[in-house]
Structure 1
Amino acid sequence: MKAIRRFTVRPVLPEPLQPLSDLARNLRWSWHTETRQLFEAVDPDGWSAADGDPVRLLGAVSATRLAELAGDLPFLDRLSAAAADLDTYLSGDRWYQERDGQGAELPAAIGYFSPEFGVTAALPQYSGGLGILAGDHLKAASDLGVPLIGVGLLYRHGYFRQSLSRDGWQQEQYPVLDPNELPLTPLREDDGSPAQVVLTLPGRRSLRAGIWQAHVGRVPLLMLDSDVEENGPGERDVTDRLYGGGSEHRLLQEMLLGIGGVRAVRTYCRLTGHPEPEVFHTNEGHAGFLGLERIRELTGTGLGFEAALESVRAGTVFTTHTPVPAGIDRFDRELVARHFGDDGELPGLDAERVLALGLETYPGGRPNLFNMAVMGLRLAQRANGVSTLHGAVSREMFAGLWPGFDPDEVPITSVTNGVHAPTWVAPEVARLGAGAAGRSENALFAGSLDPEGDPPRWDAFAEIPDGDVWNVRKILRERLVLEVRERLRASWRLRGAQAAELGWIDGVLDPDILTIGFARRVPSYKRLTLMLRDRDRLRELLLHPERPVQIVVAGKAHPADDGGKRLIQELVRFADDPRVRHRIVFLPDYGMAMAQKLYPGCDVWLNNPLRPLEACGTSGMKAALNGCLNLSVLDGWWDEWFEPDFGWAIPTADGLAADENRRDELEANALYELIEDRVAPRFYDRGTGGLPDRWIEMVRRTLVTLGPKVLADRMVREYVERLYAPAAGAHRALDANTATELAAWKDRTRGRWPHVSVDHVEAVAATAAGGSAELGSTLSLRVRVGLGELRPDEVEVQAVAGRVSSDDTIVDALAVPLKPAGGPDMEGRWVYEGPLALDRTGPYGYTVRVLPAHPLLATSAELGLVALPTEATGEGAGVLLR
């Protein structure tokens, strides 16, 4: 029979063991080797049974064992050292404090909002790369001392656990997660009652949420939980599953994350004395409603809506992670309107103004849809993609928000993702590098994070003998083989197989064979089954008599994505074939725990998405940190940092995007040829010492060259210096009066802009016959513009010049400001002049434009206003020099 109520009975730790509780409740243990080893020493068998989760371990350890440990002096010495180390880590100055002390004017705190966080497998609140990235962001911020406050939701069923049916169809299970059994503590009011946030739903109903805290090193992570007794059944289920439910369910989740999240941050800061965030970082559009709540806060102090909007924009950073419009949450405008305004949330804010922030009111948009990414961009003065290529794709995708500007000028920059090395580097690899560098494993990657520490020594890997490198790679491959067999056996038992049927699993994979890994979510564009395009050829690769290959595959399809499930089934059925099942396996239930064994154990990491639809692809970064070589389409981060010294680029048929079948055929053939002709021969080619010398050198180059680039601490430093610090400065510059003045100026400028024009352009230069000019010569430009009621100091007149394409489009454009030379004339026109140096050869052209100008604009494109020459404009406008 079932229990009618569930609760957790916690053991009472003897006084000498009390520090174990603090160590277990701070998730730094998930990336700190000595702390994990300490917990393993508490009960090695229990540690394994608890899947390396200290909270579960302490909840199951016997009173007898605890009494033994309380009298074990060597153990107590280790415990004391670990507790002292954590205290030093939490209280000492780090990189951020050093930069702040040097006058960098950094924000006092940053609110970091994300729909999912993958910090550790012990806190399963993630579905894939977005959540793992968010978790690594928090960890790196903690290591650097960046005063982040993470904000997310606590999903009582997490994402889902994946298994397979007998015929290979994905099945989902949703285990109930008890927060009391997770590394969480409730945030409480001063009187001891649970702290809550409240949202108003249509009909004046209430949605309440409790606030749980996770401690990610120095960084607090606040997680909102709607499963509280005060809610009705429907409201209690709002935070039931990650990415589950219909449109209204998702909308409520995102309202709770954004609006409730800001209220949770305010509550946390009030109760703990933590500084209030000056900058809010919206990690993908799901949290975009946080900007509306901050506008409501400011309008409540008497500030007008437009002024509040300017203040909020100045202090907001928005990161987009999707390169495809289908990956963005969109809601019907009527659904959004029903939840806002006087009868819903944010009373006092005009619902039409709220809607205007997210509606796709631009060419090619669907104005009946409320777009969360569009709102995120309109509410943030600073925005970025997550790789250089993804930044370019994002500028193209959202160019409609800035009409009149070329995509290159759309104000979306990029900060390439990174991964947290202490989390993802195998202990054997860390020990290898630490020994060569002469420092501890934890200090190997984090030395520069401490202002008193030595810089990291990634170059130390270059000094390690070939035999040591190869021995570690073989150990990791052997460990992966054992892990795969164990997981495969468990999977087949769930598929209904009997133990007597599974003897063949003992021969699955071989620790001496080239091992390729492929693991990620399974949307169609990631092309899980591209490797199956020519099955006979794949079998030949797997069963090659001299250079065989083995492949480990994992991945989850969204529960509502039958197309993705069919791809998994197709792969599983191929892998079930007795002819090849010892060389290719599919492992269900891909997650952090599996990934931490998979990345180090593979020799090659495969990534073959449709280019350019992979925003970043951080799994390849984690593999690289373990000396695994990348074999990937030039997409995401690999497009940016690929070199033949440490991997391979799969050629793409970009020009055939419309014919997906033909494109897949060409790219699959390119993949087979690379493995057959270059990858496998390099792995099996042995030098005079019996080692694959050239392969080992590629491993070294991967660690030495890529290692420092793919780190999350590099990524977080970029966010601090390029986005957080400028956002804090912009926010501080906008007090109530300044924000009001800026809002009024923008409104006035928009109203007067239709009267701004480029009326005449003249160019004087010594030109050769045929309209050509010599390199190094100068054009003297003279431009007459109409400004209407605007003043010259409210605009900037520019010449934009560069090489031109066959259709006369300017590429690699350079903007040159022109200066007022007189005016206004009798017709109210102003004259601007300036030189234009001809510094490039070949077809060359220029045009002239007028832009709004104000000291508080982050970019000249911010308002989306530009005046360009018309066909009637005088000679020289858009002149081409060939």
Structure 2
Amino acid sequence: MKAIRRFTVRPVLPAPLQPLSDLARNLRWSWHTETRELFEAVDPASWRAADGDPVGLLGSVSAARLAELAGDSSFLDRLTAAAADLDTYLRGDRWYQQRDAEGAELPAAVGYFSPEFGVTAALPQYSGGLGILAGDHLKAASDLGVPLIGVGLLYRHGYFRQSLSRDGWQQEQYPVLDPNELPLTLLREEDGTPVQVVLSLPGRRSLRAGVWLAQVGRVPLLMLDSDVEENGPGERDVTDRLYGGGSEHRLLQEMLLGIGGVRAVRAYCRLTGHPAPEVFHTNEGHAGFLGLERIRELVDTGLGFEAALEAVRAGTVFTTHTPVPAGIDRFDRELVARHFGEDGELPGVAAERVLGLGMESYPGGEPNLFNMAVMGLRLAQRANGVSTLHGAVSREMFAGLWPGFDPEEVPITSVTNGVHAPTWVAPEIARLGEGPPDATLSPAVPDADLWDVRRLLREQLVTEVRKRLRASWLQRGAQAAELGWIDGVLDPDVLTIGFARRVPSYKRLTLMLRDRDRLTDLLLDPERPVQIVVAGKAHPADDGGKRLVRELVRFADDPRVRHRIVFLPDYGMGMARKLYPGCDVWLNNPLRPLEACGTSGMKAALNGCLNLSVLDGWWDEWFEPDFGWAIPTADGATTDENRRDELEANALYALIEDRVAPRFYDRGPDGLPERWIEMVRSTLVTLGPKVLAGRMVREYVERLYEPAAHAHRALDAATATELASWKYRTRTLWPYVSVDHVEAVSATGAGGTAELGSTLSLRVQAGLGELRPDDVEVQAVAGRVGPDDTLVDARTFPLKPSDGPDPEGRWVYEGPLALDRTGPYGYTVRVLPAHPLLATSADLGLVALPTEATGEGAGVLLR
């Protein structure tokens, strides 16, 4: 029988135990070992039954046990210490405050918008790496004292729970989440009524959302929930599932996240006195509409649209996470138009203005599609990818937005992702001792102690795998009597490889199955066996991904190998915290360069797990032989996909056979694998500090947030209006800008050669039309030249204007060009817009270049 109504009965804690409620409601417990151990001590059995969720624990523990704890002086001492520690953590000055005291021009606050947040398994609002990264960003910001306000949606079904059918096909379940049973607090007005944000929909409908608050250490996370009584059935379902529904459903989710999210931030700051954000960080294109709402706010004060756009761009940071166009949300033009303008949302902003920001109006773009990443880039003065390689891929992918510029000049930088060590480092590793700043290991830890801890973690993983595998088989319909074999699955003394992530095709879950006989030989090797733990979810609509899961599951079901390879369903944060520390090697074999970053290998590395990966994402950037192995790739444009998989799979098998397994099993007289332990130590001490979320957030502050705050403050209404007018005038007059003649007073010798260290004096005649020299910059661009005369590794040299135009109205620019490199060398010249408030010379996407008839040849050969 089902209940006709569901509600939550909250426990009444005895007065001495009241601090437990505060500790449970601040998600710092999710990365603070001592607080988690305190909650476990309340009732170990209930703690396990609640899957480590303090709110669930306190809702299930008996009144008798609470009364017993209220009289336990030892427990109360621990509770007092934990509460005092949290208070100190929340109030003390940290890195950000110290930097502020040193005079850095820091933003008063930053709004950080993301479609998903993976903070803890107790708040399941994430699907994969994007959400986990966002959660780690909040935690690291909290630890550093960065005044961030997180903004997301509260999905009543979260992401799906995964199970398997008897034949290995992925099954999805969507459990209902009651916000009252989660570590959340409803944001309320001063009179106690719930805060609501309201969006206008076509047909005079409204979309309303309540706002829930999750406290992530020092950082508030606002989560919008459309499941409120004032909404109709369709509107109540807008926040039903993460990444669910059709195009209109996704559009409404993203409008609520961006537009409603800004309104939620305004309400939160009004009610709490929190400083309003000066910088808004859009984590992927899903939240891009936040820029439109901020433009609407300024337009309502009387500012023109173009000036409002400039003011908003100045304080906006956009991070792209996808290296492929197919990973970007794109909507039909008419669908977007229907939801904006006078009959929809943002009535002060014409629908054509909205469309102009997101349409793919560049060569190769789809003319009728509204692209969320394109809008995000047009609304942000600063943008970045999430690894050095991904930054380069993004510059290529979005180069059409900046015509006339080489991809390397496209204004998209990179900040390589990081992971939050206190969340992901096993306590056993953390207890080995403090090392250098930001490292996870002291160099003084003996080899034997390090190896013992690594074996202990492997043993814990074996126990966890057997428990989860048994539960999975029972769910698949097996009987307990036929599962005795599970007691022999995995061995705590066998080399253990982990592979766990989402299952899109480019991550190649089944590459390891390419040669099944060879894989079987690796698993069953009598002297150097290997065991593999695999986990991952395919998107519910991705039947291709589900077929990959089934293929892997069926291989792992084979009685010959099932004790050496397992697939664990329902991969999530709870499983991951056991999986990363317990593996010896972390495998990653995507199609290069389609892995934007790939942070799972970072989490494994923080626990002394070595990486075995193609050179993609972060591994391309930081790989060293001391940290693991690079899988050779065959990613040339002419390589057939099938042939490529064959080559790379064979390279993977060879690495395991010839290098990985021998190093793990090569033991010294003391029984220790000395070379392996050296690699573990190097990974912890040297690689560990690089992969930290603290490093990442500091980079965001110094390289993006701080400049964005400076730019935001420089653009008051008058300045923004002046800049918008200048841009309009410059765009209008740019067709009349030209490079008319280039000549050189040459250091060139006979045969077109020149001496290294000599100087070439350039003289350029440029037509500026009605623009003035202050409106432009004339540059020489020089570097080595390839066979097709393309400049390689080019540098720019500014040229200075003469006192006035010549009789024909052309301006003369002159300057030296230092010949500082040998070999084939060349130059060109160009004219760019210039204004003190432009972030980069490519900002407007305008450039004037010489024509073939402009002047002298530009190639020289340096000796």
With the shorter chain as reference, the TM-score category is over 0.9
Residue of structure 2 in register with 1:734 after alignment: 715
* Partner SS, residue 654 of structure 1: coil
- 5 Å-filtered alignment, 1:529-608, equals 529-608=510-589
Distance in 1 (alpha carbons) for counterparts of 2:152 and 2:859: 51
Distance in 1 (alpha carbons) for counterparts of 2:481 and 2:473: 12
Amino acid aligned to 2:97: Q
TM-superposed deviation, 1:821: 2.6
Native 8 Å contact 2:822 2:861 kept in 1: no
Distance in 2 (alpha carbons) for counterparts of 1:459 and 1:275: 34
TM-superposed deviation, 1:459: 7.8
TM-superposed deviation, 1:844: 1.0
Deviates most, 649-658 or 570-579: 649-658
Amino acid aligned to 1:714: R
Residue of structure 1 in register with 2:627 after alignment: 646
Q: Deviations over 1:467-517 (max 9, x none)?
A: 001000000000000000000000001110000111111010000000000
* Partner SS, residue 317 of structure 1: strand
Amino acid aligned to 1:13: L
Amino acid aligned to 1:826: P
Distance in 1 (alpha carbons) for counterparts of 2:347 and 2:267: 20
Structure 1 pair 881–356 and aligned structure 2 pair: CA distance change class (3 A) = farther
Residue of structure 2 in register with 1:377 after alignment: 377
Q: Deviations over 1:17-53 (max 9, x none)?
A: 0000000000000000110111011001111111100
Residue of structure 2 in register with 1:184 after alignment: 184
Residue 784 (structure 1) aligned to one of 750, 759, 765: 765
Distance in 1 (alpha carbons) for counterparts of 2:543 and 2:790: 43
* Partner SS, residue 463 of structure 1: coil
* Partner SS, residue 797 of structure 2: strand
Deviates most, 771-780 or 603-612: 771-780
When the two structures are aligned, how many residues end up with a matched partner?
Answer: 863
- 5 Å-filtered alignment, 1:104-115, equals 104-115=104-115
Query: 5+ unaligned residues in a row in structure 2: which ranges?
Result: none
* Partner SS, residue 783 of structure 2: strand
* Partner SS, residue 516 of structure 1: strand
Q: Deviations over 1:703-737 (max 9, x none)?
A: 11111100000000000000000000000000000
Q: Deviations over 1:218-262 (max 9, x none)?
A: 000000000000000000000000000000000000000000000
TM-superposed deviation, 1:270: 0.5
- 5 Å-filtered alignment, 1:258-337, equals 258-337=258-337
* Partner SS, residue 521 of structure 1: coil
Q: Deviations over 1:671-705 (max 9, x none)?
A: 00000000000000011211100000000000111
Residue of structure 1 in register with 2:612 after alignment: 631
2:198 is equivalent to residue 198 of structure 1: yes
TM-score (norm 1): 0.97
Q: Deviations over 1:734-763 (max 9, x none)?
A: 000000000000000000000000011111
Native 8 Å contact 2:779 2:830 kept in 1: yes
Residue 693 (structure 1) aligned to one of 674, 679, 683: 674
Residue of structure 1 in register with 2:58 after alignment: 58
Structure 1 pair 754–656 and aligned structure 2 pair: CA distance change class (3 A) = closer
Native 8 Å contact 1:848 1:878 kept in 2: no
Residue of structure 2 in register with 1:481 after alignment: 462
Q: Deviations over 1:761-795 (max 9, x none)?
A: 11122323321212111111111100000000110
Distance in 2 (alpha carbons) for counterparts of 1:101 and 1:73: 42
Q: Deviations over 1:100-128 (max 9, x none)?
A: 01110100000000000000000000000
Native 8 Å contact 2:752 2:860 kept in 1: no
Amino acid aligned to 2:640: D
* Partner SS, residue 464 of structure 1: coil
Distance in 2 (alpha carbons) for counterparts of 1:96 and 1:549: 46
Amino acid aligned to 2:254: E
Residue of structure 1 in register with 2:171 after alignment: 171
Query: 5+ unaligned residues in a row in structure 1: which ranges?
Result: 438-454
Native 8 Å contact 1:385 1:391 kept in 2: yes
Residue of structure 2 in register with 1:71 after alignment: 71
TM-score (norm 2): 0.99
- 5 Å-filtered alignment, 1:753-772, equals 753-772=734-753
Amino acid aligned to 1:188: R
Distance in 1 (alpha carbons) for counterparts of 2:840 and 2:638: 34
Residue of structure 2 in register with 1:818 after alignment: 799
Residue of structure 2 in register with 1:516 after alignment: 497
- 5 Å-filtered alignment, 1:407-486, equals 407-434=407-434, 437=435, 456=437, 458=439, 460-486=441-467
Amino acid aligned to 1:595: A
Native 8 Å contact 2:756 2:862 kept in 1: no
Amino acid aligned to 1:559: P
Amino acid aligned to 1:219: V
Amino acid aligned to 1:311: A
Amino acid aligned to 1:199: L
Native 8 Å contact 2:170 2:546 kept in 1: yes
Structure 1 pair 328–459 and aligned structure 2 pair: CA distance change class (3 A) = closer
Native 8 Å contact 2:294 2:312 kept in 1: yes
TM-superposed deviation, 1:4: 1.1
* Partner SS, residue 768 of structure 1: coil
* Partner SS, residue 839 of structure 1: coil
Amino acid aligned to 1:178: D
Q: Deviations over 1:297-350 (max 9, x none)?
A: 000000000000000000000000000000000000000000000000000211
Amino acid aligned to 1:823: G
Distance in 1 (alpha carbons) for counterparts of 2:88 and 2:793: 50
Amino acid aligned to 1:128: G
* Partner SS, residue 774 of structure 2: helix
Distance in 2 (alpha carbons) for counterparts of 1:383 and 1:766: 41
* Partner SS, residue 843 of structure 1: strand
Amino acid aligned to 2:182: L
- 5 Å-filtered alignment, 1:34-53, equals 34-53=34-53
Q: Deviations over 1:500-546 (max 9, x none)?
A: 11111101000000000000000000000000011110001101111
Residue of structure 2 in register with 1:451 after alignment: none
Identity %: 89
TM-superposed deviation, 1:599: 0.2
Amino acid aligned to 1:367: P
TM-superposed deviation, 1:405: 0.1
TM-superposed deviation, 1:842: 1.4
Residue of structure 2 in register with 1:351 after alignment: 351
Native 8 Å contact 1:869 1:877 kept in 2: no
Distance in 2 (alpha carbons) for counterparts of 1:679 and 1:877: 52
* Partner SS, residue 763 of structure 2: strand
Residue of structure 2 in register with 1:665 after alignment: 646
Residue of structure 2 in register with 1:446 after alignment: none
TM-superposed deviation, 1:655: 1.3
Residue of structure 1 in register with 2:16 after alignment: 16
Distance in 1 (alpha carbons) for counterparts of 2:40 and 2:454: 25
Distance in 2 (alpha carbons) for counterparts of 1:566 and 1:505: 25
TM-superposed deviation, 1:278: 0.2
TM-superposed deviation, 1:457: 5.7
Residue 502 (structure 1) aligned to one of 460, 463, 483: 483
Distance in 2 (alpha carbons) for counterparts of 1:571 and 1:657: 29
Residue of structure 2 in register with 1:450 after alignment: none
Residue 800 (structure 1) aligned to one of 763, 774, 781: 781
Distance in 2 (alpha carbons) for counterparts of 1:225 and 1:130: 20
Residue of structure 1 in register with 2:151 after alignment: 151
TM-superposed deviation, 1:654: 1.6
Native 8 Å contact 1:848 1:877 kept in 2: no
Native 8 Å contact 1:845 1:881 kept in 2: no
TM-superposed deviation, 1:458: 2.2
What do you get for the CA RMSD once the two structures are aligned? Answer: 1.0
Native 8 Å contact 1:514 1:683 kept in 2: yes
Distance in 2 (alpha carbons) for counterparts of 1:545 and 1:859: 61
Amino acid aligned to 2:661: A
Distance in 2 (alpha carbons) for counterparts of 1:395 and 1:878: 27
TM-superposed deviation, 1:433: 2.8
Residue of structure 2 in register with 1:830 after alignment: 811
TM-superposed deviation, 1:64: 0.3
Distance in 2 (alpha carbons) for counterparts of 1:587 and 1:561: 19
